[in-house]
Amino acid sequence: MSGSKTRSSSDRRILDEGTRMRRHKRQLEALEKDNHHDDPHASFAHLLNKVKLPSFSDGTEKKRRKTRSNADHFKQRFRKTFQSLLEELATNNNNNVKGPSYLTAAAPPSKFPPRHFCAVCGFPSSYKCVSCGTRYCCTRCLGTHQDTRCLKWTV
């Protein structure tokens, strides 16, 4: 009985450091999202596009470009993403524009050791899942973790 248990746990895949870090990065990115779901208008707009798209000839493209308004011009100039702003900043820094910036202002790591909480129930945790490194506090929570998330978030 106990033998089979050991085997089954040693059979579990163990995630390498790279995979764990990618997984962590994805979790942090999820915390930055404005919406979890899709724009309810998107399917509608998409449908419109679909109807219109085939009718676009070179001629209409040209016409469209000509009638671009000032607002569109503005959009072109200032259309940025946060990522492109960061890249711009990096270029400026290379060109010796010195001084404090977004990049230098990030708070450094804490001097205190991290605290650990169970990913399942949120209470203090003393254990780490062998397969993926997620924290858990008791066998019950470990079971839940293995049944739900353990190796399922890795794709």
Partner 1 sequence: MIDHTHLNMAASSTTLVLDNGASSLKIGIEKETEPVSVPNCITRTKTERRKSFIGNQLDDIKDLSGLYYLLPFQKGYLVNWDTQRQIWDHVYQSLLKITPSDLNLIVTEPPFNFQSVRDAMIEVLFEEYGFSSLTLTLPSSLSSFHQLMEYPERPCTLVVDSGYSFTHVVPYYRGKALLESTLRIDVGGKLLTNHLKEIISYRQLNVMDETYVMNQVKEDVCFVSQDLYTDMRKARGKQDTNTISLDYVLPDFTSVKTGYILPKGGKQHGTSEEQILRIGNERFSIPEILFNPSDVGIHQMGIPEAIVHCISTTPKPMHRYLYSNILVTGGSTRFPGFRERVLTDVRKLAPDTYPVDVTQHDRPDLVPWLGGQKLAQEGREGAGGHLQSVTQSEYKEGGLAQCHKKFYDNQIILHSNYN
47 binds partner 1 (CB under 8 A): no
Per-residue string for binding with partner 1, 69-88, x by CB under 8 A? -----xx-xxxxxx--x--x
Residue 6 Cβ, how far from partner 1 at the closest point, in Å? 28
Closest Cα to residue 145, out of 124, 117, 127, 120? 120
142 binds Zn ion (CB under 5 A): no
Closest Cα to residue 135, out of 116, 149, 150, 112? 116
Rounded CA separation 82/102 (Å): 11
Piece in contact with Zn ion (CB under 5 A), picked from 22-30, 55-63, 90-98, 128-136: 128-136
Q: For residue 57, is it left (φ>0), alpha (ψ between -120 and 50) or beta? A: beta
Residue (35 or 67) nearer to partner 1, CB: 35
Rounded CA separation 23/154 (Å): 7
Site residues (vs partner 1, CB under 8 A): 24, 27-28, 30-41, 44, 74-75, 77-82, 85, 88-89, 92, 99-102, 105-112, 114-115, 117, 120-124, 148-149
